[in-house]
Structure 1
Amino acid sequence: MNTIDELSECMKLLSDKTRLTIMALLKEKEMCVCDIVDILQTTQPNISQHLRKLKLGGLVNETRRSQWIYYSLNIEDKPHLYSIMQQLPSMKEEISAREGIKCD
Structure 2
Amino acid sequence: MEHVVELEKATLVLKLLGDKTRLTMVKILNSHDCCVCEFVEIFKTSQPAISQHIRKLKDIGIVRETRRGQWIFYSLNKESVYYPLVLSVLHYIKNQDYKLKELEEQGLRISCD
TM-score, scaled to structure 1: 0.90
Question: Counterpart amino acid of 2:87?
Answer: Y
Kindly report which structure 2 residues correspond to 1:1-16, keeping only aligned pairs within 5 A, or say none: 1-16=4-19
**CA-CA distance at 1:57 after TM superposition:** 1.3
Q: 5+ unaligned residues in a row in structure 2: which ranges?
A: none
- 1:53 to 2:68 alignment: no
Kindly report which structure 2 residues correspond to 1:4-83, keeping only aligned pairs within 5 A, or say none: 4-76=7-79, 77=81, 78-83=83-88
Q: 1: CA distance between counterparts of 2:102 and 2:31? A: 14
State the Cα RMSD in Å. 1.5
Q: 2: CA distance between counterparts of 1:92 and 1:14? A: 18
Identity %: 44
**CA-CA distance at 1:82 after TM superposition:** 2.0
Q: 5+ unaligned residues in a row in structure 1: which ranges?
A: none
Correspondence for 2:112: 103
TM-score, scaled to structure 2: 0.84
